[in-house]
Structure 1
């Protein structure tokens, strides 16, 4: 049922919210994320009635095809954006790596919260590491980025697509459909499943996806009051890091069709960023690194832009299925 959002034009920036509705996917991990944001908002605004609107997205429904074949990561956010547009919800909570690099007109990425562990995780019931897997062992992953690195380093393994929410993927492993799977460590840790991690994969060469481990909150551009209410939840080090990463991806047309990684870390006020673009078979790749003093969002995005230009100069366009974005 359509409801009048808290973000109506009668609200002012000086007033605290009375009611907020969070749109979220209904998977256990997505609901944990939405509940985390709800609890943070309740601490900020004790009188606010914060509710969660659970939804099923097309990305959750289409499980028999790779994301790169059915529309990419945007499949996980479109229905939530519709709920924002029609007033059923005031904000949407996403795993940031699922958020398209270019926001649709009228929508803002209004808040980026503190990052969880950004590593990829090796999960297996029978083996302690990728190196221990025998010839022909089946490894599941949903990511072309991970697939590219695995095919490059372990050509003797069989890499198979792995779709579904985290519990579905773990169930497939436990039923013996895979000898091992690669997942984001952040989701496992958030759901209390850290004990299932046999090994955290090193950043070199398993560089994370742009935004991996971070939560992003999306709102409508026409409701700046909501963005201001969310401002205390922003974590600036994470915001700057993921902004640099997303700039790299944006310049290279990053999507589920592109094996692309970008990960930024901090050393005091200096940011270090590592990024690669590769072929799916892992036989060709371009790698770039950069570091610089970062004291603003503009500094962060400039550093990300420089890394993207380095990759382009190395010939990264030849590895992109559709070439560089126009």
Structure 2
């Protein structure tokens, strides 16, 4: 009997439509870069705790690491070689022995407004319900429209769109990147300007995690790594890390890279939208981590110990 050859690489991912798009795009890019057939790179769907718990806000049950814990365990168990994540789902500090090795080119970072009753947030009638699982989006909506009720809704993109159709909520906000990747950007009534509605750290970025000591996989991933996205993400994650950021805190941050220059904007907002602090940094790409950390430390000091209490 002919023995089948082992996979060239093994990808681990969540099973949502968006997660599968990200995994298949990574598979396609790796196969093209290394001249191997698609089927030589396997994709394993791993159910995470975050997928299993849909009835409570993530902040109540352990934070965004619930979307990565089981996949990271598969890396440690060496049943997969690389984990493909939405960058904004990743914990600020990765487990010892795991590293963020590569990023795909970043999609549009902006937030989309989804509503059948109004074109924009400004046009939404007073007292309307906006559903979101994101404390950042909720706080920023309250900052712009304190007369609107923000309620917590969970689920993948399709689930949230159904909650609009059923009238459970009047509007929601979703990452435009995800809508574009799923081919449903036309569902957006409008798109927020990133200057006035700063996105989440990592929004629009696909991050690839590996074992730190797996030099073969890390070298293979170098062929598809988007340098500018990885550098921007380095600055944003350092900003988040200095703030001890998680999905329990309303934090926004976005970095852009232009050649050897980097620019970063960061924002913290009280959960009720009543107070916000913003800062910015600019420097060289080699300073990405330091610039992010410095911006985060500034806002942490300006906000003070009780800033995120409510």
TM-score, length-scaled by structure 1: 0.89
The structural deviation recorded for 1:176 is 1.6
Asked if 2 retains the 8 angstrom alpha-carbon contact of 1:285 and 1:319, the reply is no
Q: In the aligned structure 2, how far is the partner of 1:219 from the partner of 1:268? A: 27
Deviations 1:65-88, CA, capped at 9 Å, x for gaps: 001111111000111112222222
Q: In the aligned structure 2, how far is the partner of 1:317 from the partner of 1:245? A: 21
Q: In the aligned structure 1, how far is the partner of 2:269 from the partner of 2:303? A: 11
* 3-state SS in 2 of match to 1:26: coil
Show structure 1 runs of 4+ deviating over 6 A.
Answer: none
2:86 corresponds to which residue? Answer: 95
1:111 corresponds to which residue? Answer: 102
The structural deviation recorded for 1:282 is 1.0
- CA 1:268–1:105 in structure 2 vs 1: closer, same or farther (change >3 Å)? closer
Superposition map of 1:246-285 within 5 A: 246-285=237-276
The structural deviation recorded for 1:285 is 2.0
State the Cα RMSD in Å: 1.7
* Further displaced range: 277-286 or 260-269: 260-269
Asked if 2 retains the 8 angstrom alpha-carbon contact of 1:149 and 1:205, the reply is no
1:145 corresponds to which residue? Answer: 136
1:12 corresponds to which residue? Answer: none
Unaligned stretches of 5+ in structure 2?
Answer: 1-5
Asked if 1 retains the 8 angstrom alpha-carbon contact of 2:164 and 2:170, the reply is yes
Asked if 2 retains the 8 angstrom alpha-carbon contact of 1:286 and 1:316, the reply is no
* 3-state SS in 2 of match to 1:37: helix
2:165 to 155, 169, 174: 174
1:29 corresponds to which residue? Answer: 18
Superposition map of 1:121-132 within 5 A: 121-132=112-123
1:193 corresponds to which residue? Answer: 184
Q: In the aligned structure 2, how far is the partner of 1:316 from the partner of 1:269? A: 34
Aligned residues: 304
1:306 matched to 2:297? no
2:155 corresponds to which residue? Answer: 164
The structural deviation recorded for 1:162 is 1.6
Asked if 2 retains the 8 angstrom alpha-carbon contact of 1:277 and 1:316, the reply is no
Unaligned stretches of 5+ in structure 1?
Answer: 1-5, 7-17
Superposition map of 1:217-232 within 5 A: 217-232=208-223
TM-score, length-scaled by structure 2: 0.94
Asked if 1 retains the 8 angstrom alpha-carbon contact of 2:252 and 2:266, the reply is yes
Q: In the aligned structure 2, how far is the partner of 1:144 from the partner of 1:316? A: 19
2:3 corresponds to which residue? Answer: none
Deviations 1:283-326, CA, capped at 9 Å, x for gaps: 1222111222x232xx111111221232134234431459xxxx
